[in-house]
Amino acid sequence: MSPAVWASGLTRRFGAFVAVDDVSFEVRAGEIFGFLGPNGAGKTTTIRMLTGLLLPTGGRGAVAGFDLATQTEEIKRRIGYMSQTFSLYADLTVGENIEFFSRLYSLPRDRRSARREWVLEMAGLTEHAGRLTGTLPLGWKQRLALGCAVLHEPPVLFLDEPTSGVDPISRRGFWRLINTLAAAGTTVFVTTHSMDEAENCGRLALMNRGRLIALDTPAGLREGHTEPIFEVRVADAASVVETLRDAPGIVEAGMFGRTLHVTVARAEGAEELIAAALGRRGIAAAGMGRIVPALDDVFVARVRAAGGAPAD
């Protein structure tokens, strides 16, 4: 079976600036694929090419079997797109929004009522079809926006930070819907800064400075991270970050919740090294130990190893 989305050497130049630089990957049908990277890494430019809004200047790729360079209109009809600033009309009712998107996607007349019922059911809004969209809680609007984005049953769905700002209960419900869609064969492409959202993805692609710098499952990224990381518990952790960053043998130190995550060059003797650096400030750690890195740690380390985040 051919991949639902693929890119091979995909490149986009703007004058001398290479926004997307020789990027290759394959996403299989029904996969939930996460796309991460700091601002300016080339994520948005890649998405614009994959959604038929921008032509590549080099390389090749296809979405739902259609070519990124020559079949952008076919691609646009076969994808769904939902962003955080989704395009629902606040002064239309729930039912009217569904009707509007049915027409926008040129849904055949005989399919409209069945799809409308499906969206209302899926979004849990059957009782609220007559309610003004602007008065709905955010989590409900998000489910409605998802429903409208898949009204035309697109094989590939793009989500841009889909659950930022919603409460955890709504977020869990939203991801159950996404998993149901994926299980039924919809390919889901998610861009996000939230490591919580990233954990919901089957595989993650990490971009920096236009290049793809990592591609693996969340567990694979954590386990494949070879630089040793120690969690250090210390009162007023923030005040010692700089001290640790400047100490020899320490690669990186950052706050993680109330603890510190300290990346060291070598695991042997690391605890003594950290204790000594803290000791020079007259501080004793309440505890420390080696940990499996969080996705956040992997993100920071991979971007650093790839030259650091771009400035713009």
Partner 1 sequence: MADAGVTVRVGGLSKRFGALEAVRGLTFDVPAGSLFGLVGPDGSGKTTTLRMLAGVLPPTSGDAAVAGVSVARDPERVKRRIAYMSQRFGLYGDLTVMENLLFYADLYEVPASERGPRLERLFRFSNLGPFRDRQAGALSGGMKQKLGLSCALVHQPEVLLLDEPTFGVDPISRRDLWLIVHDMVAQGITTIVSTVYMDEAERFDRLVMLHRGRTIALGTPDELMADAPTMEDVFVRRVAEAEAAGATRGGAEPEGRP
Which residues of the shown chain bind partner 1 in the complex (CB under 8 A)? 37-40, 84-85, 90, 134-139, 141, 161, 164-170, 193-196, 236-239, 241, 254-255, 257-258, 296, 299-300, 303, 309-312
CB of 287 to partner 1, least distance (A): 15
Exposed e or buried b per residue across 36-62, where buried means at least 16 C-beta atoms within 10 angstroms of its C-beta: bbbebbbbbbbbebbbbebebeebebb
> What is the C-alpha to C-alpha distance for residues 223 and 16, in angstroms, rounded to an integer?
37
In the chain, DSSP finds a helix count (H) and a strand count (E) of 11, 14
CB of 132 to partner 1, least distance (A): 11
DSSP string, 91-128: TSBHHHHHHHHHHHTT--HHHHHHHHHHHHHHHT-GGG
Torsional sign, CA 236, 240, 242, 245: negative
CB of 165 or CB of 185, closer to partner 1? 165
Q: Residue 189 belongs to what H/E stretch?
A: strand 187-191
Q: How many CB atoms lie within 10 A of CB 124?
A: 15
CB of 4 or CB of 82, closer to partner 1? 82
Q: How many CB atoms lie within 10 A of CB 163?
A: 25
CB of 148 to partner 1, least distance (A): 16
CB of 196 or CB of 223, closer to partner 1? 196
> What is the C-alpha to C-alpha distance for residues 103 and 109, in angstroms, rounded to an integer?
9
CB of 59 to partner 1, least distance (A): 25
CB of 141 to partner 1, least distance (A): 7
CB of 271 to partner 1, least distance (A): 23
CB of 244 or CB of 285, closer to partner 1? 244
CB of 121 or CB of 296, closer to partner 1? 296
Contact call for residues 226 and 299 (beta carbons, < 8 A): no
CB of 95 or CB of 254, closer to partner 1? 254
> What is the C-alpha to C-alpha distance for residues 111 and 153, in angstroms, rounded to an integer?
11
CB of 139 to partner 1, least distance (A): 8
Torsional sign, CA 100, 90, 140, 93: negative
Q: State the amino acid at position 57 in one-letter form.
A: T
CB of 212 or CB of 303, closer to partner 1? 303
